[in-house]
Structure 1
Amino acid sequence: TANEITINDFAPAEELAVTNSRVDGLEARLNDFEAGSFSTTTTASFSVDMAIGAVDGNTTSEALTAVYGYQMDLSTSFTGEDTLAAALKAGSNQSALAQLDLNSTTNDALTVDGISYTFPLGDKLTVLVGDSTSGSALYSTACVYGGFTNTLDDCGNFSTAFTATGHAVAGTVGFSAAYDIGNGFTGAVGYNGQGSDAAGLGTIEGTDFVGGQLTYTADNYGVSITYADLDVATGWGLNGYYTFASNLPSVSVGYEFGEVEQVGADDQETTQWFVGLQWDELGNGTLGVALGSDGPQNEGVDEDMAYEVFYTYNVNDSMTITPALFIIEHNQAGAEDETGVVVKTSFSF
């Protein structure tokens, strides 16, 4: 039979011991490196939007403009049920195409858009806290319309959904909690305050937004009612949607009314409304059509109106192309209507 030959036949015992010790040390160092490397529970997602278009009647510029927006979302979990999330964004200055909101405020600089931590408390309650985060983050507003422009993508829920604060105002602290009531009902509360400002949280000098929402969701329809106390204003939002089993579009509607405090005068009443239709499977994409008021409108004046139509075509799983037309109709004296034609290409990876 053949004799088995090993390294022991060539190396003295003391040299072999040194070699084994070095191998063990290398393995330990590799294990230490793996333990401190990128966590297996951490994920990253990226999105890039590029758009080209022009707006006739725009007070800034009517020229053909090309803009971009970039966002990176990082999230990790420590228990498998919680989420620590951070968003970073960058975008070009795009005042002429501000209706697209492609992170234009960063002027090409990569900035932190928000940091939040979401965790469960029991089986039915979910809590979120964060900086530069909206207090409505865990709301379930009854709307299935995707939206293309800033004006109409809030489903007529501008004030009560804290659109004027949260991620729109850096440094605001956000708190949101949602509770699964059961039988299709969910409830949520939200708060935004000036956490990094000298005024502080919950003070007379600071600005504090608080609100709540009750939502009912069935198989093909949903309704929600939302309330907000916005420091110097209050508002109520009513939303609903219905989806058809056939090829008919889904219908989403919204109506909001509020009161704004006036110094030395009666409170100013405001209203806002919205209607959106969406075909989710039209050809290889989604068609959306919507109209509504251009944000909250003061009572007793002619409404500024907004209209939009868009078609999002799915090139592949990671790329879509969206041509769109929008009109902002200014009914106040001296203001010119705006008509925008835009093509946006979106990547997600």
Structure 2
Amino acid sequence: MKLFKSLLVAPAALGLMTPLAVSASEVNLNDISNYSDVDSIEFANSFNKVDANETQLLAGGEGIVGSNSHDGGFSETTTASFSADMYLGAVDGGTSKTDDAFMGTYSFQIDLNTTFTGEDSLDISIDAGNSAKAGTVEFDGNDTTDVLTLDGVSYTFPIGTKTTAFVGDNTDGSLLFNTACVYGGPSNTLDDCGNNYSALNGGGGTAFGASYDVGNGFTAAFGYTGEGSNADGLMTEEGDDALAGQIAYSADNYGASFTYAYKENPTFNTAVTDTNVWALNGYYTPSGEGLPSISVGYEAADSEIPSLTPKDTDSSAWFVGLQWDEIGPGTAGIAVGTKQHTVDNSTLDDELLMYEAFYSYELNDGMTITPLIYTKEFASGTDDETGLMVKTSFSF
């Protein structure tokens, strides 16, 4: 098929993309020295503190700023991290209109972190990308139509010695949850370890929550997300609110968590009104060499769907993932699970599964390559979907 012919092109394409991602512009040092008569100049992408007799040239062309001023620069407690992902992939079958088409997309992200007391953290995420194409959508990249977009703002701070709280916007309400899963697959469908509905994903609303260290491996947490428009207000009949709570236990090589969530008009299905969701997750990491960790998850939902009779409808999903953290130079994993909730209804009860396998390895400290192959089942009348993608990640 055209899909597998396309796979032969992937290694060559990656080789072409790698040097493009690390190119740098040249700087004329003679012209810069004319700006000011200083003892030394520091060129910085990360804004480190400099001595009193030094001057810092800020990245981005802001100009030269003395060390006794932060105008136009970051404070010494602020850090910035950058990442870029390149995706190559294709799918065959399913409902895609681009069967066998070989796709190339990208994602870019800037994370800014600041602390004011040494124990708190102000976090800002800025994204860009065009990763909504069918051939690479399973890698869950950023899709902002090539425009830098503020993806979330949150402030996390301690309350006493055992409680941590946060407030934010466009941030996961379950930010401080400790879901028991050690599977790190890259796919968009199975990377939640079965917690498809119970997680309070950010969607533009206000969020807050807290976690408490009970002790002896136990933690408790809650979260809230106001998913309605600002005009509707928070915690009103007009707004769409979501609440969740979690109890988790973590030992040296195993853990478990129980999560409950209530969502009004959840965004995962426009036909659904109010939904109660609970999820149970667990993992076990054996001590023997060469043995994989195992992560499992089960989620059940009770939803009200006005278009069905009866209106109250039960559904469920499950997940199992195995991961080998040291296979050659990298990490390998395989997983299987329902690609969506299976509805307990005579016309909607087909259990549709997804299977995947991946291998992730670091070429160096700043570059990682992750190939993924997967198969998704579809209802009768539609061919199963098979996809293969390669993700190259750069961090700097």
2:375 is equivalent to residue 339 of structure 1: no
- Per-residue CA distance 1:270-311 (angstroms, 9 max, x = gap): 100000000011111000100000122211411111111000
| Whole-angstrom CA distance in 2 between matches of 1:328 and 1:75 | 38
Report the alpha carbon displacement of residue 245 of structure 1 after superposing the two structures with TM. Answer: 0.9
| Whole-angstrom CA distance in 1 between matches of 2:235 and 2:215 | 32
| Whole-angstrom CA distance in 1 between matches of 2:371 and 2:75 | 39
Q: Is the 8 A contact 2:315 2:341 kept in 1?
A: yes
Q: Is the 8 A contact 1:272 1:295 kept in 2?
A: yes
Q: Which runs of at least 4 in structure 1 moved beyond 3 Å after TM superposition? A: 29-32, 34-37
Consecutive unaligned residues in structure 1, runs of 5 or more: 1-25
2:287 is equivalent to residue 245 of structure 1: yes
- The residue that corresponds to 1:281 in the other structure is 326
Distance 1:81 1:65, change over 3 A: same
Consecutive unaligned residues in structure 2, runs of 5 or more: 1-52, 55-64, 265-273
Report the alpha carbon displacement of residue 109 of structure 1 after superposing the two structures with TM. Answer: 0.6
- The residue that corresponds to 1:3 in the other structure is none
The count of residues paired between Structure 1 and Structure 2 equals 316
Identity of aligned residues (%): 53
- The residue that corresponds to 1:102 in the other structure is 141
Q: Is the 8 A contact 2:329 2:362 kept in 1?
A: yes
Say which SS state the counterpart of residue 33 (structure 1) adopts. coil
Write out aligned runs for 1:1-349 (5 A). Answer: 30=66, 32-34=68-70, 37-58=73-94, 59-62=96-99, 63-96=101-134, 97-104=136-143, 106-162=144-200, 165-166=201-202, 169=203, 171-194=204-227, 196-231=229-264, 232-246=274-288, 247-263=290-306, 265-300=310-345, 301-330=349-378, 332-349=379-396
Say which SS state the counterpart of residue 198 (structure 1) adopts. helix
TM-score of the pair, normalised by structure 2: 0.77
- Per-residue CA distance 1:41-67 (angstroms, 9 max, x = gap): 000111111011100015231200001
Q: Is the 8 A contact 1:60 1:95 kept in 2?
A: no
- The structure with more radius of gyration: 1
TM-score of the pair, normalised by structure 1: 0.87
- Per-residue CA distance 1:69-92 (angstroms, 9 max, x = gap): 111100100000000010000111
Distance 1:34 1:333, change over 3 A: closer
The code of the aligned residue for 1:217 comes to: S
| Whole-angstrom CA distance in 1 between matches of 2:281 and 2:368 | 28
| Whole-angstrom CA distance in 2 between matches of 1:226 and 1:308 | 25
Report the alpha carbon displacement of residue 98 of structure 1 after superposing the two structures with TM. Answer: 1.5
Report the alpha carbon displacement of residue 333 of structure 1 after superposing the two structures with TM. Answer: 3.1
- Structure 1 stretch displaced more, 265-274 or 90-99: 90-99
Say which SS state the counterpart of residue 99 (structure 1) adopts. helix
Say which SS state the counterpart of residue 248 (structure 1) adopts. coil
| Whole-angstrom CA distance in 1 between matches of 2:125 and 2:72 | 23
Report the alpha carbon displacement of residue 197 of structure 1 after superposing the two structures with TM. Answer: 2.5
Q: Is the 8 A contact 2:78 2:112 kept in 1?
A: yes
